[in-house]
Amino acid sequence: MTFEDLKTTLYRLEKIMYGHNYEVTYGMDIFENCPTIEEFSKQLKTAYPNSRPENVTLIPITLNDFWEEINFGLAYRGDNSAGLELNKKEQEKFDNLQKEYKDFICQHINDTSKFYSYPDETGIPGYPVFWDYRFALQSSASKFLFIYASASD
C-alpha cells in the first residue's frame, strides 16, 4: 500500500466511523531525511505551523502501548448519547479499513523501530473528547511517521 492509498483509507475510516454525536479524525505524515528527534520536531513544525514541538518532550513507549492506544480508538463505540453503531455490512467494511491502516503502519515497523507519544494536541488536526493519540514512530535511521487520531462529539 502506498502513502496515497493510505490517505484514501483514512478518509474512508473517518466516514464509516461517523456516528451519533461522534466523529473521528485520522492522519499520518512521513518525514524523510529525519535522523534525530530534533529534525523530526523541525519537520513537524513545518507541516503543522501552529504546533509546538519545540516545547514537547517525546515520551518513549513500548510497541504494546502503541498498539493498545490505536486499538482502543478503533474499538471505541461510546454509549446512547454519543457513539458509533455499525450494521453487519458496515462492520465488514470497517474491519477491512482498520486492517489496511494497521498493515500500512506494520510496513514501517522493524526490530530497531522506536515509539514515542507526542503529548501535545496544539496545532494537530482533530479535537480530542472521547479518545486521542499522537505518536512519533522512528522506523529507520532517517524516517519518522507521525500518526494521530482523535474522536469528538
The C-alpha cell at 70 is 490505536
Given a contact cutoff of 8 angstroms between Cβ atoms, the answer to whether 109 and 93 are in contact is: no
At residue 33, the pLDDT reads 95
Separation CA 66–CA 69 (nearest Å): 6
Q: Which of 95, 97, 75, 71 is nearest to 84 (CA)?
A: 75
Q: DSSP 3-state assignment of 45?
A: helix
pTM of whole model > 0.75?
yes
What is the count of structural domains for the chain?
Answer: 1
Separation CA 86–CA 88 (nearest Å): 7
- CATH (domain of 70): 3.40.1000.50
**Domain around 77:** 3-152
> What are the CA-CA distances from residue 147 to residues 49, 67, 113, 128, 137 (Å)?
17, 12, 14, 14, 8
Each of the 153 residues of the chain gets a pLDDT tens digit; together they read 999 999 999 999 999 999 999 999 999 999 999 999 999 999 999 999 999 999 999 999 999 999 999 999 999 999 989 999 999 999 999 999 999 999 999 999 999 999 999 999 999 999 999 999 999 999 988 999 999 999 999
